[in-house]
Amino acid sequence: MDGEDQTRSGADLVVAGAGLIGLSCALEAARSGLEVVVVDAGAGERASEVAAGMIAPVGEASWGEEALLGAALDSAARWPGFAERLEEETGEPVGYRRCGALHVGLDRDETAELRRMHDLHGELGLESEWLTAGACRKLEPGLGTDAAGGYVAAGEAEVDPRRVLAVLRIACRRAGAAIREGVVAGVRDDGSGRVAGIELADGSRIDSERVLLATGVRLGELAAAGTAPIRPVKGEVVRLRARPGEEPCERIIASERVYVVPRANGEVVVGATVEDRGFDTRVTAGGVHELLREAYRAVPEIAELELTGFAAGLRPTTPDNAPVIGRAGPEGLLVAGGHHRNGVLLAPFTAAAIGAMLQDEPVPEAVAALAPGRFAASGVAS
Ligand code: GLY
């Protein structure tokens, strides 16, 4: 499925980064007729390889994050069409499923906190229904006895991020984009404030008047100072497999410390730790223990499932948890990154925003609110 295209030396647009964000933007640009080269540094630190794939603007909503919420709601609404078009263009499924999510409290404190979240949903006009413990169990009979009430967000969805990555690569190539291996070492300018292309770590160059940096946790190293203050936030996940008929739940089940994401193909992802440990991608016994313990409290039947793997990824995270999307540095340089817990959710929104910028179209307010300049203006350095 993946040949390499090593010979190109010029393009209308170079995209640095072949994660969900880079590939989604590259596809958008290639569909519009631009000649696109994607530079792929490999799967090593790619958050989308580890992501559980929740498309969950309600479950991820929080106080004081209105700009992020606007983007999240916009993007969640785009997901069905985004998935359908990808599947049409490639003939490959991406596993999008509007399964809904049930958030449960496993003790009084957790339930009280969930109630506050549910009240916030009401203030924000989000789709969220409060349920008693009995009603939660009626919806999801596999819930453990600790579940003391919670809310259901019926519109939440999930998708298999690793399938999406594979299908995006096919779609990009079909749309004419080239994908080549390499590590971007720097952005070149022409000496008069315009981008001239990129330089790779092996010394080769790709000429281009437009460059999009979508290098996840490494974005801050390439973008202009202060525009992408991104730190890695580690997340460990455990992968399980249910035999047909033994699925532990129908919906995403989440508690304060854990979520359980069931896929249509029987895979069940349990995630995720949230750890500020720099560029550490080790899976720890403590992390796996906590995930399995809390998942077992929420849905005891997970103990019966086959354990198929575990992984740790790095969420690229900005000081306000919202991504940076827009122009940064010399004319022609764009960045898209810092999606923190919402990279999968925000991929269609980000691709549409970057697509509009590449066409020099005016950007809507929801996109302007995520401009990289907001950090430079506040004095936060990368
Ligand atoms: N999207 C959930 C997480 O980052 O763990």
And the tokens for 24?
């989604």
306 and 244 in a single domain? The answer is: yes
Average pLDDT over residues 218-223: 89
| CA 301 – ligand 1 centroid, Å | 22
**CA–CA dist 52, 68 (Å, integer):** 19
**Domain-embedded: residue 62:** no
Whose CA is closest to atom 2 on ligand 1?
Answer: 341
Ligand 1 pocket, mutate which of 21, 54, 158 (most atoms under 8 A from CB):
54
Q: Can you spell out the DSSP letters for 66-110?
A: HHHHHHHHHHHHHHHHHHHHHHHHHS-----B---EEEE-SSHHH
285 and 335 in a single domain? The answer is: no
Q: Relative to the CA of 344, which ligand 1 atom is closest?
A: 1
For residue 358, give the nearest of 67, 14, 78 by alpha carbon. 14
260 and 170 in a single domain? The answer is: no
CATH for 286: 3.30.9.10
Q: What does the pLDDT read at residue 380?
A: 52
207 and 282 in a single domain? The answer is: no
**Domain-embedded: residue 269:** yes
**Domain-embedded: residue 110:** yes
Ligand 1 pocket, mutate which of 341, 344, 346 (most atoms under 8 A from CB):
341
The string of pLDDT tens digits covering residues 316-327 is: 999 999 999 999
The range of the structural domain enclosing residue 16 comes to 3-50+162-229+320-378
Spacing of C-alpha 131 from chain mean position:
29
148 and 276 in a single domain? The answer is: yes
235 and 147 in a single domain? The answer is: yes
41 and 179 in a single domain? The answer is: yes
Task: Indicate if the pLDDT at residue 168 is higher than 70.
Answer: yes
9 and 129 in a single domain? The answer is: no
| CA 361 – ligand 1 centroid, Å | 32
Average pLDDT over residues 269-295: 97
The string of pLDDT tens digits covering residues 283-334 is: 999 999 999 999 999 999 999 999 999 999 999 999 999 999 999 889 999 9
367 and 259 in a single domain? The answer is: no
Residues contacting ligand 1 via CB (< 6 Å): 52, 54, 235, 271-272, 315, 341
**Domain-embedded: residue 354:** yes
214 and 267 in a single domain? The answer is: no
**Domain-embedded: residue 28:** yes
Please count the structural domains in the chain: 2
**Domain-embedded: residue 56:** no
373 and 256 in a single domain? The answer is: no
| CA 51 – ligand 1 centroid, Å | 7
Average confidence score pLDDT of the chain: 94
**Domain-embedded: residue 266:** yes
**CA–CA dist 67, 365 (Å, integer):** 9
167 and 45 in a single domain? The answer is: yes
CATH for 29: 3.50.50.60
**Domain-embedded: residue 237:** yes
Q: For residue 231, what are the β-bridge partners?
A: 317
| CA 316 – ligand 1 centroid, Å | 11
